[in-house]
Amino acid sequence: MTRKRFGFAVLTLLGGCALGEGTLEEVDPASLPPVVTWDDHIAPLLDRYCATCHSEAAGPGTVEGYDYGSLAGSICGFEGVEETLFEEASMPPGAAPRPDGRQEALLRRWQDQGFFERLDAAGRGVRPGPFNCRQFGEGDDD
Amino acid sequence: MTDHPHRGGWACLALLLLLAAPAQALPLFSAREGRTCDNCHTDPTGWTNPELAARKCNMSCLNCHLDPGGGGLRNVSGRFYGESTLPMLLASHRGWKDWGRHLFDLPMDGARMNRAPELAWGTPLGGSPTMALDPKRYAGLQSDPVVQVGVDARLAAWLTGEAANVFPMQLDTHLALHPFRHLTAFATGGVLARAKGFQATAERETFFAVKDASLMLHQLPYMSYLRVGRFIPPFGTRLDDHTSFIRRENELDGALLHSRVVGAEVGMAPNYPYLHAAVFRPNGKDLLDAGDPKNEEIPPFLGVDGWGAALSAGWRDLGWSLGASGMLRSRDLKDGGDTSTLGLVGSYNPWFYNDKVPLTLMGEYNVGYRQREGSGAEALYQAAYAELDWLPVNGLNLRLKYDFTDPDGEVGEDHIHRGGTGFDWYVVPNVALTGQVRLAVPAGGGELSPDGLFILRGWL
């Protein structure tokens, strides 16, 4: 640690305050992959933070009808992520671990790019095949 | 007949119980230890201190645990503390400062009889050294056994506004072998539980793993030791709450195998300074991995390429403590990258100074740098915690707790304030029920959504 950094750390320690402005995309765009896919990024993320209560493998089952243990369920129920994670910040509840800034940015990018399932051999995102959202309580086909 | 001076606070107590609350308390025992001298000193009056090198009294984790960093098997002092000071009912003994603090008495309470089965046998070859704990002080418990086994089982119920989830939180087994004086090998293995529930836990590809293992030279002057093995680095307050940011943000979460490193550690804890220093091969950070969609991958037992060092030192006096910690890790970015962290820890136990103030305050603050995933750029992070504990009657602890983290000093509105309240109810020896309600306040506002966690715990 350089002397400047150490001094900054001491000041921070004395202040004990939250720091920073802007999003991770603005501060450090290189920390995010250009293409976000279910296989590479989103499946383990949603398993860790959401699937404890919202998946078929969870003890309580697919609570509120959300299944974040599957690709189709995650796409069909993404409005739940939008609402409770991005807007309300009410999920995951209490002391349950929450996605950090990078992980939230990955979820947003996945949504913005149209929910890629995986990369093809050329490194381009591949969308999932057709599926029916009715099984998750939704009315629309994708 | 004892009197009950605390009954006037029952309405308040009942309210706190209804609100439910947080649990897990072991560093709290250390902070409160100064008022239970007769856990080890059978006759505190007339006691004359030996020279410093020969004193065993300290307020550190190794006073009660075989692992000098805390957790796992207890030595005879820790087992006696669990049988005598902790429980509400059927205590084998009561410290004289707790004589007037019963909720009510059972006829057998405090009859100097240990009731839990003891899983410790034998005497080491060469006999027990001078620095071993004295067998005459712990109501007949084995003070320096050759073989000791133990178990720690926890069943949890997690309640949110939408769901209730019951799951096997922990099932750890412990083994220690102490064939010769000064030399002990000990290990802890456990079920790798999943909060998803029993079925998800049973269906794991790897169901059980060795978590910690050490070979240790101990029972040395100044309560010093040297060990090699796999352990959690000595840093800060080893809270038994894996959600605390001071543990999780520093990759010291005791529930994760990723928190274990392989290396050597030396330390000492004469009364009352303490020092622990370790050099180690780090483990990989618990990153999300494309090849592990269910987050079940087991980190390598011997860690990953790189190096690390940790130092924790300070002073734990009878009624207060103050210390500092530092830790470095150097490893590939794919394994989590470099980290450098400083920490300040402290506690104050006014109860030691005044029997009418059964309160204990603890806290820690961390600041450090780590590399961002993806880019490798350095980012400053902070974590903090504070808790206030109140023991209204023997066996029941109530708590207010605060946690804070700012995971990236350049990114705005990513910090979290979290408050909680809870209880630890040590019902009878070796059985406890803990509960907590936590409420996170995310940056930039949002909806508050509390959760509740209740843990039934039994251990030997």
**For B292, nearest residue in chain A (alpha carbons):** A44
Which burial class, exposed, middle or buried, applies to A44 when counting CB atoms under 10 A from its CB (0-12, 13-18, 19+)? Answer: buried
CA distance A1 to chain B (A): 8
pLDDT of residue A1: 45
CA distance A116 to chain B (A): 14
* Residues on chain A touching B453 (C-beta within 8 angstroms): 94-95
Per-residue pLDDT of B21-78, as tens digits, reads 333 447 888 888 888 888 887 765 666 788 999 998 889 999 999 999 999 999 999 9
Per-residue pLDDT of B109-144, as tens digits, reads 776 777 788 899 999 998 898 899 888 888 889 999
Residue B165 makes CB contacts below 8 A (sequence gap 6+) with: A52, A53, A58, A59, A60, B157, B158, B159, B195, B196, B197
User: Is the pLDDT score of B19 beyond 70?
Assistant: no
ipTM score: 0.85
Q: Is B16 or B86 the better-scoring residue by pLDDT? A: B86
> With bands split at pLDDT 50, 70 and 90, how would you rate the model's confidence at B311?
very high
pLDDT of residue A59: 82
pLDDT of residue B182: 95
**Whole-structure pTM value:** 0.89
Percent pLDDT > 90 in chain B is 66
Per-residue pLDDT of A43-98, as tens digits, reads 999 999 999 899 888 888 888 888 999 999 999 999 999 999 888 888 898 888 99
Q: How many Cβ atoms are within 10 Å of B316's Cβ, its own excluded?
A: 25
* Residues on chain A touching B288 (C-beta within 8 angstroms): 41, 44-45, 48, 103
Q: What is the mean pLDDT of chain B?
A: 89
Q: What is the mean pLDDT of residues B309-336?
A: 97
* Residues on chain B touching A95 (C-beta within 8 angstroms): 243, 403, 418, 420, 436, 438, 440, 451, 453
- d(CA B400, CA B22) in angstroms, rounded, equals 8
* Interchain CB distance below 8 Å, A94 and B295: no
* Token pair 């995971």: residue: B407
Query: Domains of chain B, with CATH numbers?
Result: 7-44+52-459 (2.40.160.10)
* Interchain CB distance below 8 Å, A60 and B384: no
User: Is the pLDDT score of B267 beyond 90?
Assistant: yes
Nearest-by-Cβ selection for B447 from A39, A45, A88: A88
Pick the residue of A74, A100, A118 with the most B CBs within 10 A to test the interface with B by mutation: A100
**Spatial contact of B144 and B56, defined as CB atoms under 8 Å apart:** no
CA distance B28 to chain A (A): 20
pLDDT of residue A133: 86
pLDDT of residue B135: 84
